Structure 1
Amino acid sequence: MAETMNRQQRLVVAVAVLASFVAFLDGSIVNVALPAIGRDLGGGLTTQQWTVDAYLITLGALILLAGSVSDAYGRILVLRIGLIGFAVASIAIAVAPDPVLLIVARAAQGAAGAFLVPSSLALITSTMRGPLQAQAIGVWTALTTAATIAGPVVGGLFVDYLSWRLAFLINVVPIALTLWLLTRLQTRDVRRPDASIDWLGAILCTLGLGGAVFALIEQPNLGWSSPAIWLPLVVGIALFAGFLWRQRTVKNPILPLELFRVRNFWTGNLATVFIYGALSLNGFVVGVYLQQGAGLTATLAGLASMPTTLLLIVLSSRAGVLAGRWGPRLFMTVGPLVMAAGALLLLTVAVEFDYWWQVLPSMLVFGLGLGITVAPLTAAILGSIEPARSGIASAVNNAVSRVAGLIVIAMLAAIVGGSLDLDGFHRAAIATAALLAAGGIASFFGIRNPPLGAGEETTAVTVDEP
């Protein structure tokens, strides 16, 4: 008879799902809210870029640190701090009177979000083993994926009929419920007295990424010759180089560089850079252009990409099973190329806009390719590293995907030619297709299928949400 979860284990899953749901929901709401934020606070494309990238800078830089902090101070304590921080930042976003305070609050929200997903999964893996753990992670994946569907639609409804500010307050209710459920847990934090935290490494990484991204976003306004551009760029690159050097020498690095000696790990992460950079670019551009260029409401813009998400949910599990049987190389090659074809279909978008003939075919083809790609990509990367280090391998891949997204969004003005009009939208579609093709080519030449029979012992892995 299959083992079933007891009350406390179900409570653990509920806490993990709700804590992660908060971060995923916010990430999927923001794209449909960007035009309304721009109209209300001003700042044009630059404000929209920073609204996305301020969150991704701190999320991508600190998600590596989150595992160390969770181990050292305990998962429940870290979850509680992350939830409270996320709620306070969400309220600050909702009341922000100008772009500067909004961007600062988004950065704080990203920092809090970095501690939610890793800690929630660590709570599951530290309290359950074997089939129960796999079952719990499956429930976590299914329910948090629902946030990527609900977010744009719920956010669009709030933007259209209430206010974009209230859309960011949606998080407060599940956060309050999660904090209450944490008081009902009988599980207690177990702290490792020998755990050390590389705070300096986290600071170098955050400031390094921040300096480079600032230069890329503000360069169209000030020009490369301005000291306000080239100085942060040079300092940012130097700080990030210092971060990488420190990871080679520090006793307990937050980014173990030796992982990149494994072929499928470094190749898979290279493919991740291209694929997730393309996903971020596509999500941003489609969400904004359908409102500002095509004249759709925020709700309809949120509904527009739902076919892609539904295909991802339907196909991911099957693609993962087939990749386990045949190896991930075929799927990681074909999937991005299919997505590239879907991105190019957006070139049919014209001044006389028609969603059904110009956008829907792209969403369907793009979703087909995404469903083929995501699970095999995650399995190839995590499967290349021994199970004892799968947690840090997952964190590294998650950070790589976030950093890829923030760099591409930072370069948006250069990609679209300064403004997101129809010509800029077409340029973005071509750039998205080029990035995806690069991801497919990197996978074809770099990924190696494991020997037949090597996958008989499988471990549960989680799929990083696009």
Structure 2
Amino acid sequence: MASPSPVLGPQAPARAGWLVLLIIGAAQFMVVLDGTVVNVALPAIEKDLGFAGSDLQWVINAYVLAFGGLLLLGGRLTDVIAGRTVFLAGLVLFCLASLACGLATSPGMLLAARAVQGVGGALLSPAGLSLVTRAFTGARRDVALGVWGAIAGVAGAAGVLLGGFLTDGPGWPWIFYINLFVGTLVFPGVVLRIPRTAASGTARLDLPGATLITLALVALVLAVVRSEDDGWTAPTVLTGFFSSAVLLAGFVLLERRVHQPLVPLTVFRLRNLAIGNAVNLLLGVVMLATFFLLTLYLQQVHGDSAREAGVAYLPLAVAIMLTSAVCSQLLPRTGPRPLLIAGALLLSGSLFWFAQLEVDSSVGTYFIAPSVVWGAGMGLAAVAALSAATQDLGGEGESGLASGLVNTTLQIGGAIGLAALSTFAFDRLDDRLARHQPYPVALLDGLTFALRIAAAVALAAAALALAVTRPGTARTPVEAAAVRPGA
């Protein structure tokens, strides 16, 4: 076992710890940003590369699918190998794939590069969160997790903002080239500020389990995505759902038998971990789909340019940053439960407000104002859900599992939410077009219908959050057994 790191650990100087958070947070910002930065660039990408309209969603889904499907494997690799090594490998892979995205000359080349980006993100993101949870303890960890939670929401909004300026400026390839600048700053920072640590001598990688859960998640998301074109009862869609269920059942059976499982199923005895990840899944459903739906409204209904659409998200990003900071300060005193409930209720209310949009609505009243409420809700809920989902794990050999779980639930929720809510929106659009409604009116009807469903999902998250308990100071014997391999 390596000696305690002079930078990462309970005795780490405060300044060194925050510097590590800054370095790793920049990489996490880049990873989350790439989930939304392409939204406003899609029309330009469609025109330049010759995408069919029905295939355009794969520019987003290829990334999210690879990212979400491999996060558990990335989290476990973090525990088995070493967080620093996995982080650097993911960073290099992500940046090389970003370069390939910008240089793409065909739809196939772009989609393949986006998938590789997702693989890099699946290594980088859980390794980064693992390093953060090891770098801080006590109240400082709550503040650090507050910053980390804020990164996800701010990066989502910033992705749309930057996507608009870069698409209208130097061109859509620059939404990918910008990652190279971030990578060249982060890589030397990690090498210089985060020391090497030895890999665990006893941990083993559960490759069969990793394969089964990855295939199960991919089959599930593919089935939801295909439902947009084929319908929910089509043989291809039903086969995808059935395959996912069989693979998931096989994963559960395998994890009960192996000595060192990818995910010790007993960890779900930890109430806050289970509830926190379930709420996180619902937040993922709401977050990615909201950006997609509202961007369609701004550009295709309201008639805004890519740059104007991006600027409209600025108040939302500011609201997320401010409320995330407030949440991280309140967590040590209140625990995650009240903040999580309040955040989810604000999200639900703002989404119902968005659902009142009209073709010629005032942007200030019906977009900016609910955006601030949405940002406040997401800032509270994302940080509180992250705290609840990780507070019972984070020790030696556990931080990768905790970060893998919380990142997986968020990303898989995002993939499912984007596919499902866009399906509801476009099915409604087709129905209204069949009734000879003008396209903007028909699209608006589909978008507001999907936003109402998203509001109901956020309300369900608030109800689920009622089950979160205030964190204790020590594990019970049952909780301690829950995180031991083979328990």
* Residue from 241, 257, 263 that aligns with 2:249: 241
Q: 1:129 to 1:417 in 2, by over 3 A?
A: closer
Q: What residue is the counterpart of 1:423 in the other structure? A: 445
Query: Secondary structure at 2:290's aligned position in 1?
Result: helix
CA change 1:308–1:394 in 2 (3 A) is same
Deviation of 1:93 (Å): 1.7
Matched, 1:257 2:278: no
Q: CA deviation at 1:311?
A: 1.5
Letter of the aligned partner of 2:276 in structure 1?
G
SS of the residue corresponding to residue 93 of structure 2 reads helix
Verify: 1:448 aligned to 2:469, yes or no.
Answer: yes
2:410 corresponds to: 401
For 1:114, the equivalent position in structure 2 comes to: 122
Aligned partner letter, 2:446: G
Cα–Cα, structure 1 residues 101 and 232, in superposed 2: closer, same or farther, change >3 Å?
farther
Residue 148 of structure 1, CA deviation: 4.6
CA displacement at 1:132 relative to structure 2: 8.2
1:33 paired residue number:
41
* Partner SS state of residue 164, structure 1: coil
Correspondent of 1:154 among 153, 157, 162:
162
Q: Structure 1 residue 169 and structure 2 residue 177: aligned?
A: yes
Equivalent position of 2:280 in the other structure: 272
Contact 1:89 1:105 in 2 (8 A): yes
SS at match of 1:177: helix
Corresponding residue for residue 411 of structure 1: 420
Q: Is residue 73–residue 404 contact of structure 2 (8 Å, CA) maintained in 1? A: no
CA contact 1:155–1:167 (8 Å) conserved in 2? yes
Distance 1:32 1:253, change over 3 A: farther
Which stretch shows the higher mean deviation, 111-120 or 21-30? 21-30
Query: What is the distance in 2 between the residues matched to 1:182 and 1:373?
Result: 29
> 1:361: how far off?
1.9
CA distance in structure 2 between the aligned counterparts of 1:229 and 1:450, rounded to whole angstroms: 41
* Contact kept in structure 2, 1:68 and 1:196, CA below 8 Å: no
Q: Deviations over 1:409-440 (max 9, x none)?
A: 12234321434811111111101111011111
Distance 1:381 1:80 in 2: 25
- In 2, Cα distance between the equivalents of 1:73 and 1:84? 17
Shift of 1:80: 2.8
Helix, strand or coil at the partner of 2:55: helix
Q: Verify the 8 A CA contact 1:29 1:151 in the aligned structure 2.
A: yes
Q: Which amino acid aligns with 2:300?
A: Q
Q: C-alpha distance in 2, partners of 1:440/1:253?
A: 32
Is residue 80–residue 199 contact of structure 2 (8 Å, CA) maintained in 1?
yes
Alpha-carbon deviation of 1:323?
4.5
CA contact (8 A) 1:56 1:110 kept: yes
Distance (whole Å) between structure 1 residues aligned to residue 140 and residue 360 of structure 2: 53
What does 1:282-431 align with in structure 2 at a 5 Å threshold? Answer: 282-385=290-393, 389=398, 391-418=400-427, 419=429, 421-431=443-453
User: Does the 8 Å contact 1:219/1:229 carry over to 2?
Assistant: yes
For 2:361 and 2:145, locate their aligned partners in 1 and report how far apart those are by CA, in whole Å. Answer: 42
- Verify the 8 A CA contact 2:147 2:324 in the aligned structure 1: no
More off after superposition, 283-292 vs 25-34? 25-34
Distance 1:357 1:186, change over 3 A: closer
Contact 1:79 1:116 survives alignment (8 Å):
yes
1:204 to 208, 212, 215: 212
Residue 134 of structure 1 and its aligned partner are, at CA, apart by 7.7
Native 8 Å contact 1:57 1:206 kept in 2:
no
Query: C-alpha separation between the residues in 1 aligned to 2:28 and 2:22?
Result: 10
Instruction: Give distance in 2, aligned partners of 1:289 and 1:346.
Output: 10
Q: Deviation at 1:346?
A: 1.4
1-structure distance, mates of 2:53, 2:264: 36
**Partner of 1:68 in structure 2?**
76
Deviations 1:249-295 (A, max 9, x none): 22222222212122232223222222221122212211233112222
Structure 2 residue corresponding to 1:56, chosen from 53, 58, 64: 64
The verdict on how the C-alpha distance between 1:349 and 1:16 changes in structure 2, with shifts beyond 3 A counting, is same
Q: Which amino acid counterpart does residue 455 of structure 2 have in structure 1?
A: A
- The answer (yes or no) to whether the contact 2:394–2:402 under 8 Å persists in 1 is no
Deviates more, 1:276-285 or 1:433-442: 276-285
CA distance in 2, matches of 1:40, 1:385: 47
Deviation at 1:343, TM superposition (A): 0.7
- Contact 2:65 2:415 survives alignment (8 Å): yes
The one-letter code sitting in structure 2 at the alignment partner of 1:443 is A
Q: Which amino acid aligns with 2:418?
A: I
- 1:263–1:202 distance in 2 versus 1, CA, 3 Å: same
Structure 1's 102 and 233: CA in aligned 2 closer, same or farther, altered over 3 A? farther
Say which SS state the counterpart of residue 208 (structure 2) adopts. Answer: helix
Q: Distance in 1 between matches of 2:136 and 2:181?
A: 27
How far, CA to CA, are the matches of 1:341 and 1:248 in structure 2?
41
Residue-by-residue CA offset, 1:175-212 (whole Å, 9 max, x unaligned): 23333445545823412232211222222222222222
Alpha-carbon distance in structure 2 between the residues aligned to 1:160 and 1:198: 46
Q: Which runs of 5+ in 1 are unaligned?
A: 455-466
CA spacing shift, 1:259–1:140, aligned 2, 3 Å: closer
Moved more, 218-227 or 206-215: 218-227
Q: Which whole-Å CA distance do the structure 1 matches of 2:137 and 2:342 have between them?
A: 35
CA deviations over 1:127-182 (Å, ceiling 9, x no partner):
77789878877777777876455433222111112221221111112223333445
Task: Name the CA shift for 1:3/1:35 in 2 (closer, same or farther; >3 Å).
Answer: same
- 8 Å CA contact 2:224, 2:420 repeated in 1: yes
- Report the AA paired with residue 434 of structure 1: A
Query: In the alignment, does 2:460 pair up with 1:438?
Result: yes
Does structure 2 retain, via aligned residues, the 8 Å contact 1:35–1:291?
no
For this pair of structures, how many residues does the alignment match?
Answer: 451
Deviation at 1:302, TM superposition (A): 1.8
> For the residues of structure 2 that align with 1:382 and 1:126, how far apart are their CA atoms?
12
The root-mean-square deviation of aligned C-alpha atoms, in Å, is 3.3
2 CA distance for matches of 1:121 and 1:10?
Answer: 13
Q: Supply the AA of the counterpart residue of 1:111.
A: V
Identity of aligned residues (%): 31
* Maintained 8 Å contact 1:273/1:400: yes
